[in-house]
Amino acid sequence: MSPSSRGEPYQRVLAEVLSRVKPTPEERLKVGKVISRLFKAFKELKGLIPVNFKVEIEGSIAKDTWISGDKDIDVFILFPRSISVEELRAYGLRIAKACADRVGGEYRERYAEHPYLEVFIRGYHVDIVPAFMIRSPEEMISAVDRTPLHTKYVRSKLGAKMRDEVRLLKQFMKGIGVYGAERRVSGFSGYLAELLVIHYGSFIDVLKGVSSWRPHRTLIDIEGHYPPRLIEVVKEGFGKPPLVLIDPVDKRRNAAASVSLEKMATFIAASRFFLRKPSVRYFYPPKPSDINLREELKKRGTCLLAVKLPCPKLPPDVLWGEIYRSLEGFRNLFKAHSFEVLSCSAWSDEEERIVFLFELSSGRLPYLERHVGPPVGSPNEEDFVSKYLRGAYVLAGPFIEGNRWVVYKLRAFTRAKELLLKGAGKVRHGKHIAKLLDSMEVYEGEELDVLLNSFGEPFKEYFISWLTKRLYWLEG
C-alpha cells in the first residue's frame, strides 16, 4: 500500500475521537452532583441497620474511564465479612431502597448472584450493589466482592493520559461491535479494555499488540503471576478459551473469559486494518443504508426465514443464554433435515419480542432423499432391506453402493418453513422460551417486510446489518 493511500495520520483521528469521548466539565459536574446526593443519603441512613457498612463508587466513573454520554453509576455497599449472606442480602436491599426513596429515584430489584437495586435518578442509571468488604480475592464470598479490588488496581495504574487511551479503546471496541462482556455480545469488558491499556501502554500500542494475537494461543499475564514455562498448563486449566488474560488481582480468574472467538478475531482484524489506514469510521460506524427486501431476495436467490416469539421476562444474560440455545437448536434442526444454513442470528428488544433469523441456500428440497444404511454383511442388513423393500415412501433401491446399503426415499420435510412450524417443539430450548412456542410465527422471504415495517428502527438496522454483513470500518 502506498503512503498516500494510508488515509489520515492516526494522531488526527485520535484527537477527533478524543474530543468526542472525553466527558465535558458540565457532564462531570452533573455526575458529581448525583453522587453527592447518594452519599448524603447513605450517611443519613447509618444506624438504620445494626451493622456497619461503607459506600464506594466503582466502575468506570470511579476509575475515570467513562465515555461522554455514559449514564451508568455503580455504587457498592460494602459489609464486613462477619455477617451472613442472608444478612447481607436483607440489609443491602433495605439500605439501597431507603437511599433510593431519599433521593427520590424510581427503582426495581434485579438479580445477579445477590439481589441489587437499579435506580433511575436525573437521567442516570444507578446500580446499588451490596457486597462483602475484602482485601484479597481469597476472602471473596461472591464474584461482585472482587469489583472494588479491580477499581483499586486500575486507579493505581492509570494516570490522566492513559485514562484517555482507555476511552479511545472502549469507543473503538464499541464501534467495531466487540464491547461488552454480556452474553449477547460475548466481547470485551470495560475492565479488560483498561487492563489492555495498562499492559500495552497506549491505545495505538494495544492495537499493535492485538495485531499479532492468535486465537487459542495468546495469553497475557500483566503481573507475572505464572512463570512462562507454565503458560500451556495455565491455558489448559482455563479450558483453552480463545483469549486468556490473567486478572492482575486474582490469578485464578481469566479476565477475558467472556470473549468469543469471533469477537477476538474481529478485534484483531480491525486493529490490523486500522493501523494500515486509520479512520474515524472504526469508532463511529455509519448507519446502514436502507435496502429493498424484494430486490435483495431476487439478487440472492436464497431463502430468508424469521421466527418471531414473545420475549420472556428474564435478566438479559439469562435471556440471551436461552436465545442462543434455541438458535443452535433451530440450526441443528435444519441440518438434521439437510437444509443448508448459510447464516443465522437472533435479535431481541429484551422486552417484548425475540426474532430468529435464518438464511438458507434453499427453502425447498427435492422429495427424494438419499438414505445410507448399514454395510453389506452387517447384522442389521436384513432389517434394513426388508424395511425398505416395499412401501410407497421408497423411490429407488434398496441398492448397494461401495460396501453399503442405500435407499432413496421420500423426504419428511421438503419445505423449510413447514419444518420450522412442525419441528420447533422437537428442538432443545431454554425452559422459558419452550413455554412460548405456541405463539411462534414464521415469516418467509418477502413476508419479512411485515416485521421490518412494524418493529421499528433497531430491528431494521440489525436486520440490514445481518443481511448485508458489511464491516463498515473496512470501507473508510
Binding site for a copy of itself (CB under 8 A): 211-215, 261-262, 265-266, 268-269, 272-273, 276, 299-302, 342, 361-362, 365-368, 370, 375-377, 381-382, 385, 389, 395-405, 408, 414, 467-471, 474-475
Of the pair 111, 367, the CB lying nearest a copy of itself is at 367
Adjacent-strand bridge partners of 106 = 120
Q: How far is the CB of 381 from a copy of itself (least distance, A)?
A: 7
Nearer to a copy of itself, 112 or 368 (CB): 368
CB of 412 to a copy of itself, least distance (A): 14
Residue 30 or 460 with smaller CB distance to a copy of itself: 460
Closer by beta carbon to a copy of itself, 54 or else 294: 294
Q: How far apart are CA 47 and CA 36, in angstroms?
A: 20
Give 471's DSSP letter.
-
Q: Give the whole-angstrom CA distance, residue 207 versus residue 174.
A: 14
- Give whichever of 80 and 391 is closer to a copy of itself, judged by the CB atom: 391
Select from 287, 272, 304, 312 the least CA-distant residue to 457.
287
C-alpha cell recorded at residue 288? 446502514
Looking at the Cβ atoms of 139 and 401, the one nearer to a copy of itself is: 401
- The nearest distance, CB 443 to a copy of itself, in angstroms, is 19
Burial, 448: exposed, middle or buried (Cβ in 10 Å; 0-12, 13-18, 19+)? buried
Query: Nearer Cβ to a copy of itself, position 88 or 365?
Result: 365
Angle at 68 between CA 63 and CA 71, to 5 degrees: 75
Q: How far is the CB of 415 from a copy of itself (least distance, A)?
A: 11
Minimum distance, C-beta of residue 328 to a copy of itself, in the bound complex (Å) = 14
- Phi, psi values for residue 348, rounded to 5°: -155, 145
Closer to a copy of itself by CB, 82 or 361: give it: 361
d(CA 203, CA 76): 29
Single-letter code of the amino acid located at 66: W
Minimum Å distance from CB 200 to a copy of itself?
17
Q: Where are the beta strands (DSSP E) in 65-188?
A: 72-79, 106-111, 115-121, 124-132
The HSE-up count of residue 287 (CA atoms within 13 Å, CB side) is: 8
Task: Return the SS3 of 316.
Answer: helix
CB 308 within 8 A of CB 451: yes
Least distance (Å) from a copy of itself to the CB of residue 334? 15
147: CB partners within 8 A, 6+ apart: 58, 59, 74, 76, 129, 131
CB of 258 to a copy of itself, least distance (A): 17
DSSP state of 284: S
Closer Cβ to a copy of itself, 140 or 268, answer by number: 268
Phi-psi region of 225 (alpha: psi -120 to 50; beta: other; left: phi over 0): alpha
Report the Cα 432 to chain-centroid distance in Å: 20
| Residue 21, all three cell numbers | 469521548
Q: How far is the CB of 365 from a copy of itself (least distance, A)?
A: 7
> Whose Cβ is closer to a copy of itself: residue 298's or residue 428's?
298
Q: How many H helices and E strands in the chain?
A: 17, 15
For the CB of residue 282, give the shortest distance to a copy of itself in the complex, in Å: 14
